[in-house]
Amino acid sequence: MNLIVAVDNNWAIGNKNKLLVSIPNDMKHFREETTGKVVVLGRKTLDTFPQGQPLKNRTNIILSRNAKHEVKGAITVHSLEELLEELKKYNDEDVYVIGGDSVYKQLLPYCSVAHVTKIDHEYEADTYFPNLDLDAEWEITADSDEQTYFDLPYQFLKYERIKK
């Protein structure tokens, strides 16, 4: 399973239920990675999308503790066990965890690839992703040249879980 996330220098991912910054090339990278694939997200993340609607051209699986929560055009599951059972229907390489915070933390142990946009800045934030640079189970296996959006440097990194 994959995950895709944008982080700042402190591995922050959000503030007040919003992304820290919207970088057009990062959004393009996200679309290219996930279009035609399965995306797994929490209900709060879905609420941040335009009109709270699932992403087009993807199979959207929403993890929500609310047993009554249903979303047109998406599959809703209500527990980690139910999610893992649903994911058996798909090729592991086609599944992308896209947030938010609690979904990332629950599913990180099941992921083998992390697509990380590392933004060279420190934002005010209230939501963080685990720092993969400090986790001996992960290593960077690919990186892009540094890019800039106005004066904001960023880089695309691919982390892979080290096979034991």
- Looking at residue 92, what is its pLDDT? 96
- Looking at residue 134, what is its pLDDT? 97
C-alpha distance from residue 149 to each of 5, 30, 37, 61 (Å): 17, 16, 27, 31
Cα(92)–Cα(90) distance, integer angstroms:
6
Q: What share of the chain is helix, strand, coil (3-state, %, to 5)?
A: 25, 35, 40
Sequence-distant (6+) residues with CB within 8 A of 90 are 38, 59
DSSP, collapsed to helix, strand or coil, labels residue 4 as: strand
Instruction: Please state the pTM of the whole predicted model.
Output: 0.95
Burial class (CB in 10 A: 0-12, 13-18, 19+), 50: exposed
- Looking at residue 164, what is its pLDDT? 64
In this structure, are residues 43 and 75 in contact, taking their beta carbons and an 8 Å threshold? no
Q: Count H helices, E strands: the chain?
A: 4, 12
- Single-letter code of the amino acid located at 88: K
pLDDT tens digits in sequence order for the chain, 164 residues long: 999 999 999 999 999 999 999 999 999 999 999 999 999 999 999 999 989 999 999 999 999 998 888 889 999 999 999 999 999 999 999 999 999 999 999 999 999 999 999 999 999 999 999 999 999 999 999 999 999 999 999 999 999 999 76
Q: May I ask the CATH class of domain 2-161? A: alpha beta
